[in-house]
Each structure stands twice: as structure tokens, then as C-alpha cells.
Structure 1
Amino acid sequence: MLLEFKRIHVPPGQRVLLQNVTWTELEAILEELGEHRAARIAYDRGMLEIMAPLPEHEDDKEIISDLVKALLEELDIEFRCLGSTTFKNQFMNQGIEPDQCFYIKNEALIRGKKRLDLTIDPPPDLALEIDITSRTHPHIYQALQVPELWRFENGKLQINVLVDGNYIESQSSLNLPSLPLIDVIHQYLEKSKTAGRNATIKSFRNWVREQL
């Protein structure tokens, strides 16, 4: 399988589905792919999806991530940003690589750790998915008990929070104060396309300070 897998090319915006992939095979495939790659994976009880994001997907991910980082810094909240780390739980037979993720409330519990195991470590407090190519899998995040999932789709931010094991759409974030993030994140993302990244982040920081 690995020899064949090395020959697979996934064009940007496309995906490959592999059925009946065992956990051992999943681990071998992840090892073969390596950590420094553009493709993202999702694994759900034997079904493996490999997706290559579009360039605009990466642009939006970077700006939204920078806005979240700036917000946490202005609020003086410790956090750890782990990017597209592979989160998996063998007992649940599921795994996912978010576009971006943050440890916020549980940052101290994983501080300094180089490898995480969701059978013993907490999941990230916040996961971000850019849904331009419809590759998000909310049910996997739900099963892994990620408390908050942001999905950015068609220019709109949707905040989902975990309540009694299920995601419900919310107007506010569990991990961040009661700020109008749904509208503001979109506003500053659009601003970055004309004003530039640095000017946008500076303006956003000023806005956050005004709210405090």
C-alpha cells in the first residue's frame, strides 16, 4: 500500500478516499506522508480522506489564525497554537487534522509536550476549519470532544460549541469573552485583502483594546 500511496497526487481542492483502512495502516500512511505536507487527513472508522486545500483556503486560515492569536495576546491569555496537528484516538477509531487549533483553557496541561495522545491528553479547546472545499467533519471533532469548532464557509464564520456531546451553533465563543466575533472576524478578514496583513492586525488589536 505504501509504495502505491507515494505515487498518489492530490490536486488542490480535490480529495482521495480510501476504504477499509486499518488503524495500523493509518499510522503507516501518516508516517509515510510526514508532518511537513499540504494535504490534510480525516479518518472515521476505516474511511480515510486525504484532501489538498486550495490557496485561498490557506490565505483565510492564516489571517483568521492571526486574528485569534492577536485577540488572545491582547487579553493576556496563555495559549498554544498547534496548526494542523494530527489528533487521533485509537479507542474511538477516529482522527482529524484541523486547519488550525488552539489550546487555551487546557494549555497548561499540554505545555512543553511534543506528542499528544487523546486517550490521555485533552483535545484542543478550539479547532478551526476553512470549509471552501467542504472537507470538514464535525462528527469527528464531536467524537473527539473538541469543545469548540469554528467553520468558515462562504465568507461567514459559524461557531459551534459542544453541549451534552453534540454541537450547537452559538453566537459567542466558549473560550473567548462575549465579543461579536462572528461579524468582526469576517470584517477584518475582508479588510486584510485591501489594507494588508500588518495594518489589519494592528487595527484589530486597537479594536480589542477599545472593547476592554
Structure 2
Amino acid sequence: MLLELRQLRIQPGQQLLLEDVSWQQFENILAELGEHRAARISYSHGFLEIMVPLPEHEKAKEIIGDIVKILLNELSINYDALGSTTLKNEKMSQGVEPDTCFYIQNQAAVIGKNRINLSVDPPPDLAIEIDLTSRTLLDNYQILGVPELWRYGKQGLQINVLQGGKYVESNFSPTFPDIPIIELVNQYVQQSQVVGSSQAIQAFRNWLRDNI
């Protein structure tokens, strides 16, 4: 008897790893899970991981995403925020859903698109992963060619920049080269845990007003 995904119950903070999953099975699983769900997926060469994040993960995702949007707006940089859209490339046998992602330099290529296919579309310029409840594998993003990946974990923000097909850890963000992103993200995510998210974001806006 075959189990169906709807019969599985994955608790927040838990992961399910499936092996020997074909590309068509991966596509079928995506369709069965639907778009309005808490689970995040990652697929690489037949291995499929399904993870359900904890509330602390979602809070960090929202405030970091807000910081990026505020900066882009303040600097008058055009962008499209695609959230946790599925990034996939059948030829490379890769699929991943970042916590959030942004098209900035490549924004024009995805305006009006409701689906992203990295076989023909460019990857997002910036992807963000929250690693409080799981550990992001770099391979998906390296193979898909995402130029900049932020990972926020218990030790704070780490910026990875693609150089020669491999990620190199960087002390600054190519997207915001003149702004101390690591320091700011660490400060205001931590502050949000003490005073609340909206208050931390307002404090960040105040910092911007005084420094930009």
C-alpha cells in the first residue's frame, strides 16, 4: 500500500527526507502540497527534504525581508520580492524554496511572471534562508547560480557570494556594499525578540534616517 503525502504529519521544526525521488515525482509532490502551505522543500539529485519551520524562524524571515525592502525603497532600487517561490531547474535536477528572495538587477526578466523556471529564467539576485531550525545546504543555490545568499542562524547573519561557481563568505553585501548589513540585521532581529517586530523595524528606520 502506498502512502500519500496528505497522510503524513510533519511537526514544526521537523524534517522529512525522501530518497530516490524522480523529477516527475518531485513535480507531483509540489502539486499535491499546493502553494498555500507552511512546509518548505529542497530537492537535489533525487533527494527531497520537506521541512516545517518554527514560529521563531518565521519571525526572523519577516523582519530580515522587511529590512531588505526598506533599504531597496530608501535607495530607490527597483525590485520584485518573490517570497518563498519554488526555484527549480530540471536540467540541473535542482529545486529549492528560499525563505524569501529578491530579483533586483534581473527584475525586468521576471515582471509579470507567476512561475519561475530557472531553465529559462535568471535566478534571483538575493536569496535569504533562516537556519534557526534547519541547516541550509549551499549546493542547491550554487548549482542554480544564485549570486548572493544570506543565511541567518543562531550565530547571526552570514553572507555568501558566488565566485567561480562556489560560495565565498563575505563581510559585506554586494547588493548593499556601503551598508553594515551583518551588524544591522543581527542587531534588529535580536531587538525584535525583546521589544517586538514593529518597534525594531521603526528603530531601523530611525537608524536609516540618521545615517543614509
Is the shorter-chain TM-score for this pair beyond 0.5, marking a shared fold?
Answer: yes
| Match status 1:194 vs 2:194 | yes
Identity among equivalent positions (%) equals: 56
Judge conservation of contact 1:71–1:205 (CA < 8 Å) in 2.
no
Give the aligned partner of residue 23 of structure 2.
23
Q: TM-score, normalised by structure 2?
A: 0.95
| RMSD (Å), alpha carbons | 1.5
Give the aligned partner of residue 38 of structure 2.
38
Residue 63 of structure 1: SS of its match in structure 2?
helix
Q: TM-score, normalised by structure 1?
A: 0.95
Judge conservation of contact 2:42–2:50 (CA < 8 Å) in 1.
yes
Q: Distance in 1 between matches of 2:211 and 2:169?
A: 24
Residue 4 of structure 2: SS of its match in structure 1?
helix
Give the aligned partner of residue 177 of structure 1.
177
Judge conservation of contact 2:88–2:116 (CA < 8 Å) in 1.
no
Q: Distance in 2 between matches of 1:33 and 1:158?
A: 30
| Match status 1:119 vs 2:86 | no
Residue 182 of structure 1: SS of its match in structure 2?
helix
Give the aligned partner of residue 66 of structure 2.
66
Task: Please identify runs of 4+ aligned residues in structure 1 that moved more than 3 A.
Answer: none
* Greater mean alpha carbon deviation, residues 35-44 or residues 192-201: 192-201
Q: Distance in 1 between matches of 2:45 and 2:27?
A: 13
Give the aligned partner of residue 12 of structure 2.
12
Give the aligned partner of residue 93 of structure 2.
93
Structure 2, gaps ≥5 residues long: none
| Match status 1:48 vs 2:48 | yes
The structural deviation recorded for 1:118 is: 0.4
Judge conservation of contact 1:148–1:160 (CA < 8 Å) in 2.
yes
Structure 1, gaps ≥5 residues long: none
Give the aligned partner of residue 80 of structure 2.
80
* Greater mean alpha carbon deviation, residues 192-201 or residues 51-60: 192-201
Q: Deviations over 1:108-146 (max 9, x none)?
A: 111111111101111011111111122412111000000
Give the aligned partner of residue 203 of structure 2.
203
> What one-letter code is carried by the residue in structure 2 that aligns with 1:26?
F
> What one-letter code is carried by the residue in structure 2 that aligns with 1:181?
I
Judge conservation of contact 1:60–1:130 (CA < 8 Å) in 2.
yes
Judge conservation of contact 2:103–2:126 (CA < 8 Å) in 1.
yes
Judge conservation of contact 1:129–1:150 (CA < 8 Å) in 2.
yes
Q: Distance in 2 between matches of 1:72 and 1:42?
A: 28
Judge conservation of contact 1:126–1:150 (CA < 8 Å) in 2.
yes
